[in-house]
Amino acid sequence: MKTKLIFLIAFFAIITGSVCGKNRKDYEQRVMETVEKDRLTLKDLGKPALTNPEASTMILLGDTQTYTPKMCNQPVLEMMTAWIAYNIKPLNIKALLHTGDIVEYNARVDHGSAFDQNSKQQWEWVSHCFKRLDNKLPCILIPGNHDYSNNWFSGEESRNTSQFSKYFDPSRNYKTQEAIYRVFTEKHKHQTIDNVIYKIDVGGKWGEVYVVALELNPRKEVIDWVLKRLESKRLKDKLAILLTHSYLAPNAVMPKDAKFLWENLVKKAPQIRLVLSGHYAEFYGSFKGHSAVRSDVNDVGKNVYSILFDPQCTYGGWNGSGGDGWLRLLEFQPDGKTIKVRTYSVLYGHSPMTKHLAWRTAPYDMFEFTLDK
């Protein structure tokens, strides 16, 4: 809770500073310094292509919230989904994973002073962008803290308030619908897609991979449900990927909430070998401030990798473009155990003038790891 509080305070201090204009100049200078430093890690590695023609890809989108509340940034998000749709065949894309915080505000009627789009416009825009992928690709999204309540998650009482299930109802995309394996159901309540286990056929030696997509800071009953499901005969020997909004923090630190999840779920479930998350991002937007990778050893002695990817603040949060079109390619190698991670900007990759900026090559942005079998 403490870490979360610190992040929240820092977050607000910087927003107020930047929006009020008092620290605007210092702030912009710091942003530009970060830009200069990070620029050295950018390269032109050509058009995205599979490194091995037999491999298959999953696309990882970080938090998209900052693309939505300002009209001028919105088309960048569609650039990303349109690019994914175009590359489904060439990159053999099997699924899209989204780390949550789909929009800035879940249910607000006004748009606030810093922005020009209210919640309805934000949800409708994201939903519009994902039309490019409907019936083409399973899209696995989860709610982040901004997808609950009015502004954002405000305690356990705001569970099930996300509008996400309404706008991303699986009926819109039969590929997602087919991929649903089990849905967490609560008594006396509507079913939501906050907690779902999806089945993705990655093909080759990988076979079926299960994506466990969970709500923000999953409740005890959700964790128990997942453990029970994973113990079933069918999933016993399968690979599972956990997708949840808040887990790893920058510099590969595991905050308290994450430790709870680690102790109660990840460590105990031998199927889970990879955890993907977003949520944490340094406001000045350096690459290192929003991407990290670490590995831990679980109860059966196997490595569990966890990845943080949340480019929402890349260079200046609300003053930036919302994330500069950065997305991740997770390339599942034909050996059935190696995953190559690369980070690509659709925004820069589109123009010959800027394609030299399209790939991030620092060790936390471009790496590969091998899962223990």
Partner 1 sequence: MEIPNSDNRECEFMNVKKILSIASVACATLACFGTVKTPKEVIDRVCSVYQIQNKMTGAERMAYYQKMIEKDLPTQKDLGEPRLSARGASTVILFGDTQTYTPRMQYQPIMELMTTWVAVNIEKLNIKGLLHTGDVVEQNNVARAYWGANQNSKQQWEWASHCFERLDDKIPTFFCTGNHDYGHYSFDGQKSKGTSQLTKYFDVSRNEKTMHSIVEIYKEPHKPELLDNVLYRLSLGGKWGDIYILSLEFAPRKEVLAWACELMKKYSERCVILLTHRYLSFGDIVLPEAENIWFDFIKKSPAIKFVVCGHYAPTYTDFKSSVAFRQDTNAIGKKVYSMMFDPQSIGGGWSGNGGDGWLRILEFQPDGKTIKVSTYSTLFGVSPTTKHLAWRTAPYDMFEFTLDK
| Interface segment toward partner 1; rule CB under 8 A; list 80-88, 204-212, 265-273, 334-342 | 80-88
Q: How far is the CB of 288 from partner 1 (least distance, A)?
A: 15
**Residue 355 found at the interface with partner 1 (CB under 8 A):** yes
Cβ atoms 254, 304 nearer than 8 A: no
**Residue 315 found at the interface with partner 1 (CB under 8 A):** yes
**Residue 362 found at the interface with partner 1 (CB under 8 A):** no
Site string for partner 1, 13-42 (x = CB under 8 A): ------------------xx--x---x---
Site for partner 1 in 86-105 (CB under 8 A): 86-87
**Residue 320 found at the interface with partner 1 (CB under 8 A):** yes
* DSSP letter, residue 363: T
In DSSP notation, 299-353 reads TTS-EEEEEEE-GGGTTTGGGS-SSTTEEEEEEE-TTSSEEEEEEEEHHHHT-TT
Q: Contacting partner 1 (CB under 8 A), which of 348, 360, 364, 365?
A: 348
Q: How many CB atoms lie within 10 A of CB 97?
A: 23
* DSSP letter, residue 75: H
Q: What's the CA gap between 309 and 316, in Å, rounded? A: 16
Q: How far is the CB of 322 from partner 1 (least distance, A)?
A: 9
| Phi, psi at 303, each rounded to 5° | -75, 135
Q: Contacting partner 1 (CB under 8 A), which of 189, 220, 353, 373?
A: 353
Closest CA to 282 of 2, 1, 30, 92: 30
Q: How far is the CB of 32 from partner 1 (least distance, A)?
A: 7
Q: Which residue has the tokens 């991979």?
A: 209
**Residue 112 found at the interface with partner 1 (CB under 8 A):** no
Residues that bind partner 1 (CB under 8 A): 31-32, 35, 39, 46-47, 70-76, 78-79, 82-83, 85-87, 116, 132, 315-316, 319-321, 324, 347-348, 350-355, 357
